[in-house]
Amino acid sequence: MRKLPSLFDTMTLPVIGSPMFIISNPKLVIEQCKAGIVGAMPALNARPQTLLDEWICEIKEVLALHDKTAEQRSAPFAINLITHKTNSRLDHDLDIVIKHKVPLVITSLGARPEVNDAIHAYGGVVMHDVINNTFARKAIEKGADGVIAVAAGAGGHAGIKSPFALVQEIRQWFDGPLALSGAMAHGGAVLAARAMGADFAYIGSAFIATEEANAPQAYKQAIVDGSSDDVVYTNLFTGVHGNYLKRSIQNAGLDPAALPSSDARDMTFENGESKPKAWKDIWGGGQGIGGVTEVVSASALVRRLREEYEAARRSLCH
Ligand SMILES: Cc1cc2nc3c(=O)[nH]c(=O)nc-3n(C[C@H](O)[C@H](O)[C@H](O)COP(=O)(O)O)c2cc1C
């Protein structure tokens, strides 16, 4: 077994609940961590920006209390920093992350050595998300400790690489923490990610259909009702390709089969949003949603994933 940084020692299932714009909030993060997986939240979800300090205080206090009494200590939490050059909140949010010594920081959209250095200075761990092997190398060269390989079918911004190709190529030169992202909503897929060489499954869309997620009921239901046939890959909404639910595109009066293209230069985080206002009701969702059949609590979802993971493990031993 590969040696991972000790902060991961309290995890009871090798899953990181991925940070999701708008959707992830302290309630969801706390329940994920209590259930034994990493809970993560984009810093940009705390608005106004002063709320980030309060939210991290809340997460730390509730988890510290839990750890005093519970049999099983909580898993670490993570904050996602968008390191894209247009993110005008980055300096502020990084200061708050440093103040709270956030154990795991997930960086996206541009690896930044100075950000990695600042997090390492207090002992934090950085994982950077990438869609191909070239970006993975750059992230590690620039000082990230680990990578999140975002494969085809992931909800939100996603790549086009097969998970098999991506993990294989990264593992040929990198022995550090590696999470695999994209279309996982079943414990068997978590085991498969491990078998391929990843340390963690990175799961987002399945957590949209939880009681704690900050999403309208209709969005949660669309995740429950949907399958991979209901997911569209387009760059129209942010300038960068990602996966979105057809239903929300139709609700916005657009034809999902005939969407115009956009341009990566259109992407901006200047007003703290990843999408222009016109597209705020477009719902992100990955190809794995066929595995989601009901809205449940985050702890019930983690319990199901754990049971499926153990069952898949046992079935391979026969
Ligand atoms: C609605 C939505 C919003 C997302 N927002 C972010 C984000 O703000 N930052 C980020 O790093 N990744 C974001 N992601 C991508 C996830 O971190 C992750 O790669 C993805 O959810 C994993 O694939 P899955 O959804 O198929 O499980 C988002 C994904 C979704 C579905």
Contact (CB, 8 A) for 106 and 202? no
Distance 101 CA to ligand 1 centre (A): 23
Residue with CA nearest ligand 1 atom 3: 20
Give the mean model confidence (pLDDT) for residues 173-195: 98
Distance 81 CA to ligand 1 centre (A): 13
Which of 245, 241, 240, 218 is closest to 229 using CA atoms?
Answer: 245
Distance 114 CA to ligand 1 centre (A): 24
Q: Please report the atom of ligand 1 found closest to the CA of residue 18.
A: 17
Is the pLDDT at 273 greater than 90? The verdict is no
Residue with CA nearest ligand 1 atom 10: 19
Is the pLDDT at 278 greater than 60? The verdict is no
Residue with CA nearest ligand 1 atom 13: 20
In the three-class reduction of DSSP (H, G, I as helix; E, B as strand; rest coil), residue 37 is classed as: coil
Is the pLDDT at 280 greater than 80? The verdict is no
Six-digit token string for 131? 């869609």
Question: Which pTM value belongs to this model?
Answer: 0.96
Confidence of residue 16 (pLDDT cuts 50, 70, 90): very high
- Residues 187-210: tens digit of each pLDDT: 999 999 999 999 999 999 999 999
Residue with CA nearest ligand 1 atom 21: 204
Distance 173 CA to ligand 1 centre (A): 26
Buried b (16+ CB within 10 A) or exposed e, 236-261: bbbbbbbbbbbbbbeeeebebeebee
% of residues, the chain, pLDDT over 70: 95
Beta-carbon contacts of 163 under 8 Å, excluding residues fewer than 6 positions away, are 149, 151, 152, 180, 182, 193, 196
Confidence of residue 180 (pLDDT cuts 50, 70, 90): very high
Six-digit token string for 61? 């206090």
In the three-class reduction of DSSP (H, G, I as helix; E, B as strand; rest coil), residue 20 is classed as: coil
% of residues, the chain, pLDDT over 90: 88
- The set of protein residues with a Cβ atom below 6 angstroms from ligand 1 is 18-21, 23, 42, 80, 108, 129, 150, 154-156, 181-184, 202-205, 284-286, 288
Give the mean model confidence (pLDDT) for residues 205-216: 98
Beta-carbon contacts of 82 under 8 Å, excluding residues fewer than 6 positions away, are 42, 43, 44, 90, 107, 108, 109, 269, 274
